Structure 1
Amino acid sequence: MRTAILSDIHGNDVAFEAVVQDMNHQNINNIIFLGDLVAKGPQPKEVFERMMALKPLVWLKGNTDAWLDDAMIDILPTTKKEILLLAYYDYMAHRLEGSEMDALIAQKKMSHLHIEHYDILCVHGSPLGMDDGMDPLEKPEKLERQLKYSEEGVVLFGHTHKQISHRYHVHRLINPGAVGVCNHKNDTRAAYAIMDTNTGFNVELRQVAYDLDLVYKIASERSFPNMEDYRNLLTVNEG
């Protein structure tokens, strides 16, 4: 079984399309999506429709998808960050149908599944929460706390936009990286992973180039808010 693992598309359908085209040449059997689909990008409806067409085995809610759980439109922003987030929310909410927003709200925050001989836990941030970032290469005491109650041998997670395949005690920890925003060390390519359980357990971390200028053009034509902030999301990730 060859399973594509995707996360953090963030309303960037140009990047999402490039990844899907790459997957079409990889003999993929299943797709797992770990959340953050529509927010902070100029193409929320397009990425939703593309994800629906793919019929993923797992489709999780990410922390930015969870903005739809509450009516942020009623929030009176008081900080620069809140003003940015409200503008992103307003753009997204006015471009999705009510049924599409309902579908996003209904997605799970966590999923347990069994593929071949492997028990797998899927989360967006960590087993402790959607916005709780995991980094197996840093702060082992934090990682120990995050995995304390997780018995699955494989843990799939996103949120940090940092591609990782790492063994930690009994766990294999896999972060596919981000499809739609900049990845670790300012890598602007769209990232995803392939988990191959046909013979043993193998993970391939893939990166796919896409047309950033086209994303900027679409964003500009649609009067996407926070353009300076959005350019940074697409090009800067020094962590």
Structure 2
Amino acid sequence: MRIIVLSDVHGNCLALETVVEDAKKKGFDQIVCNGDMIQSGPQPHETVQLLRELKCPVVMGNSDAWLLTGIETDAHLISEERRKKLDIVREWSLSKLNDEDRAFINSFQPTVIVELGGDKHLLAFHGSPTSFDQALLPSTPEDEFQEILKPYAGHILTGGHTHLQFTRRLRDSQNFFFNPGSVGVAVNPEHTNEQNLLDPWAEYAILTVEKFNTQAGVCPCNIGHG
């Protein structure tokens, strides 16, 4: 079984189209999206249309929730100058969406569960299972990281939000967490110049479940980044 995991398209439909075409060449059984699919990019309506065609489950991210409601759940993290710019982008994005588009975005779920077979599941979310604003990073202290995800360690876990590709093991579990990176706004933390912070490509992940051994209770899973 092959699951394509996408996140943080941010209205970049060209990047989404590129990823979908690449995924089709590799072959897959299902697509799941980890949120922040529409807001802040140049093609919000087009992105909605393509997601509708894909008929894949989509997680609600903080940016898309803010797009619909205007409620600033992360206002303390954003300067007043940047907030004014974001408000302009939000108004423009809303002007490109019709009522059906907004209803579709409003159907996004806080979390999504995908059955992998043999009582194994993939739990998809945006920031963390309990908050789309919570950031899980490669640098998150180990004890803090494990404490956040411990209640969900019976699943393979995937989240977005930070726009960084990485994988971390879950303590006392054969499962793991992975972030597929960003389709539309790929971040390179190694860049020192803020103007060159973004990489010129689209990122996604492929979760491959090869076989479930019910006697041993082991599910061999591979995660690859595209």
* Fold shared per TM-score above 0.5: yes
Offset at 1:108? 0.7
* Match of residue 64 from structure 1: 63
Offset at 1:17? 1.2
Q: Distance in 1 between matches of 2:96 and 2:147?
A: 39
Residues 1:157 and 2:159 are matched in the alignment: yes
* Match of residue 221 from structure 2: 201
Residues 1:119 and 2:131 are matched in the alignment: no
* Match of residue 181 from structure 2: 177
| Contact 1:121 1:152 (C-alpha < 8 Å) held by counterparts | no
Amino acid aligned to 2:38: V
Offset at 1:184? 3.1
Amino acid aligned to 2:221: F
* Match of residue 46 from structure 2: 46
Amino acid aligned to 1:113: V
| Contact 1:8 1:179 (C-alpha < 8 Å) held by counterparts | yes
Offset at 1:136? 4.3
Q: Structure 1 residue runs of 4+, over 4 Å off?
A: none
Q: Distance in 2 between matches of 1:136 and 1:116?
A: 29
Q: TM-score, normalised by structure 2?
A: 0.82
Q: TM-score, normalised by structure 1?
A: 0.78
Question: Structure 2: which 5+ residue stretches go unaligned?
Answer: 72-78, 190-197, 212-219
Offset at 1:119? 2.1
| Contact 1:136 1:173 (C-alpha < 8 Å) held by counterparts | no
Aligned length: 200
* Match of residue 144 from structure 2: 142
Q: Distance in 2 between matches of 1:104 and 1:50?
A: 12
Residues 1:33 and 2:33 are matched in the alignment: yes
Offset at 1:71? 4.5
Q: Distance in 2 between matches of 1:164 and 1:65?
A: 23
| Contact 1:164 1:174 (C-alpha < 8 Å) held by counterparts | yes
* Match of residue 193 from structure 2: none
| Contact 2:186 2:199 (C-alpha < 8 Å) held by counterparts | yes
Cα distance per residue 1:109-143 (max 9 Å; x no partner): 11233212322211100123001111244312321
Offset at 1:198? 2.7
Question: Structure 1: which 5+ residue stretches go unaligned?
Answer: 73-77, 207-239
* Match of residue 235 from structure 1: none
RMSD of aligned Cα (Å): 1.7
More displaced, 145-154 or 99-108?
Answer: 145-154
